[in-house]
């Protein structure tokens, strides 16, 4: 039986990379593979959704990892460093995919030319990888996606707005205010995500709303369903996805970047109402665009054909062993220390843990962490040493977009 190892920073929440890792794990499980996931942290709520036949393994359980796999599918380069150079895990085929042009953990491994294939989730990410030294012909565009059940969904949209769904783990103030404004006009607005209603967003939830406001993966799902889809989040957005803007929005992973703008809550509500009927005219086109460009099954078949014809260059890979062996261990140690600190604080204040979990990626982004190795590793634990008051102040600044 074939074996695959996937890596992802965490397997805890309903975030994009975590859900992506779970979907890919399910795909390979259905194909008859033994599936392992190596992650730095696992827990609720996501862990309860993972099939018991999929092993989710943390650094404290490395004895559960196999010595070799038929395929390694990796997110977040420090984890790949660790399993290749510290744990000496072998595979003939290794695929590394970068999911962001900004997150430091999505940077390209220095040994990228030795791998089977490099993936990019968007053209924006692809351009970043080229800047980092990857040859364009060695990069495969593997976009975010929607699965079959979303494309199979068929329902005529409502002629008026009754219910709006906001999906975000970092809801800006203007979207929070939209809830109150909508209520005054008889429009129900529900918010799903950290600090609000924490639920796995599936087709059944999206089906009960007239408009979906989100970014990233949720927009892929709503477009595949034929739902009016409105891109807006922490860094602004560009409103309804239309025939005119879908190509550019797709290139930016429906993130709101590239040509988005910030609006007030009232401006968002006005835009939603004034352009709703026009947005319905493009839904059939948008659904077919989605089927052509981000159908999960089709994209998986295509990428596996390429990976399976490109064995890694093991001799070249070995050249990096002395450089990355100890460094990769340091990264894992420091992150484990961070999680231990969070656990200690959680014993005193459960709410504080939630605040820290919410803030860690944004603190990293705001301070532009480019590396967690060597002398910079202390920065990772900096939020733990902060007082609760400072954490709350920082969170509020993030939410206001300042």
Whole-angstrom distance, CA of residue 317 vs CA of residue 118: 15
Whole-angstrom distance, CA of residue 75 vs CA of residue 330: 19
pTM of the model: 0.78
Nearest to 86 by CA among 324, 351, 249: 324
Residues whose CB falls within 8 Å of the CB of residue 269, separated by 6 or more in sequence, listed in order: 178, 181, 182, 185
| All structural domains of the chain with their residue ranges | 3-145+296-322, 148-293, 325-399
Q: Which pLDDT score is estimated for 397?
A: 52
In the DSSP assignment, the letter for residue 158 is P
Question: For 148-293, which CATH class?
Answer: alpha beta
Q: CB–CB of 94/36 below 8 Å?
A: no
Cα 143 vs. chain centroid, distance in angstroms? 12
Burial of 253 (0-12, 13-18, 19+ CB in 10 A): buried
Whole-angstrom distance, CA of residue 319 vs CA of residue 117: 19
Residues whose CB falls within 8 Å of the CB of residue 203, separated by 6 or more in sequence, listed in order: 149, 150, 153, 221, 225
Token duo for residue 37: 């996931």
Q: Roughly how many angstroms between the first and final C-alpha of the chain, as a whole number?
A: 52
Which residue's entry shows tokens 């990892």? Answer: 65
Each residue's pLDDT tens digit, 363-378: 333 333 333 333 333 3
Q: Which pLDDT score is estimated for 344?
A: 65
Q: Can you list the residues of the chain whose pLDDT is less than 50?
A: 347-392, 402
Whole-angstrom distance, CA of residue 295 vs CA of residue 270: 33
Q: Which pLDDT score is estimated for 361?
A: 44
Whole-angstrom distance, CA of residue 294 vs CA of residue 287: 10
Domain 3-145+296-322 has CATH 3.40.50.450: no
Nearest to 58 by CA among 106, 19, 96, 7: 7
Q: CB–CB of 390/363 below 8 Å?
A: no
Residue 272 backbone phi and psi in degrees, to 5: -60, -45
Q: Which pLDDT score is estimated for 388?
A: 43
Q: CB–CB of 214/166 below 8 Å?
A: yes
Beta strand pairing call for 90-91 and 236-240: unpaired
Whole-angstrom distance, CA of residue 96 vs CA of residue 132: 14
Q: Which pLDDT score is estimated for 261?
A: 87
Q: CB–CB of 82/329 below 8 Å?
A: yes
Each residue's pLDDT tens digit, 75-120: 999 999 999 999 999 999 999 999 988 888 899 999 999 999 999 9
Cis peptide before 149 (omega within 30 of 0): no
β-pair partners for 97: 119
Same fold, 3-145+296-322 and 148-293: yes
């Amino acid at each position: 039986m074939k074996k695959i190892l996937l890596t992802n920073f965490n397997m805890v929440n309903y975030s994009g990379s975590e859900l992506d890792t779970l979907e890919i794990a399910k795909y390979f499980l259905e194909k008859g593979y033994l599936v392992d996931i190596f992650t730095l942290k696992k827990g609720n709520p996501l862990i309860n959704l993972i099939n018991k036949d999929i092993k989710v393994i943390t650094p404290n359980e490395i004895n559960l990892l196999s010595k070799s796999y038929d395929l390694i599918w990796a997110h977040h380069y420090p984890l790949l460093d660790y399993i290749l150079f510290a744990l000496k895990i072998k595979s003939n085929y290794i695929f590394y995919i970068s999911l962001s042009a900004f997150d430091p953990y999505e940077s390209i491994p220095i040994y990228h030319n030795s791998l089977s294939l490099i993936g990019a989730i968007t053209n924006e990410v692809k351009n970043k990888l080229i800047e980092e030294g990857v040859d364009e012909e060695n990069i495969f565009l593997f976009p975010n996606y929607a699965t079959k059940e979303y494309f199979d969904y068929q329902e005529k949209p409502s002629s008026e707005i009754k219910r709006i769904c906001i999906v975000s783990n970092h809801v800006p103030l203007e979207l929070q205010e939209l809830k109150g404004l909508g209520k005054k006009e008889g429009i129900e607005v529900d918010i799903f995500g950290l600090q609000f209603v924490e639920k796995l967003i599936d087709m059944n939830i999206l089906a009960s709303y007239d408009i979906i406001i989100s970014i990233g993966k949720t927009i892929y799902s709503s477009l595949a369903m034929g739902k009016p889809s409105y891109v807006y989040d922490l860094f602004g957005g560009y409103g309804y996805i239309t025939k005119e803007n879908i190509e550019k929005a797709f290139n930016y992973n429906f993130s709101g970047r590239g040509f988005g703008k910030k609006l007030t809550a009232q401006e968002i509500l006005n835009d939603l109402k004034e352009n709703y009927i026009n947005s319905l005219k493009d839904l059939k086109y948008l659904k077919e665009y989605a089927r052509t460009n981000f159908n999960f099954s089709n994209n998986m078949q295509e990428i596996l054909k390429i990976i399976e014809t490109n064995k890694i260059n093991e001799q070249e890979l070995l050249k990096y062993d002395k450089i990355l062996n100890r460094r990769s261990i340091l990264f894992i140690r420091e992150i484990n220390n961070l999680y231990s600190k969070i656990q200690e604080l959680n014993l005193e204040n459960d709410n504080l843990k939630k605040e820290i979990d919410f803030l860690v990626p944004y603190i990293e982004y705001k301070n532009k962490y480019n590396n967690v190795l060597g002398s910079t590793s202390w920065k990772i634990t900096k939020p733990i040493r902060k007082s609760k008051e400072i954490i709350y102040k920082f969170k509020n600044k993030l939410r206001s977009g300042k």
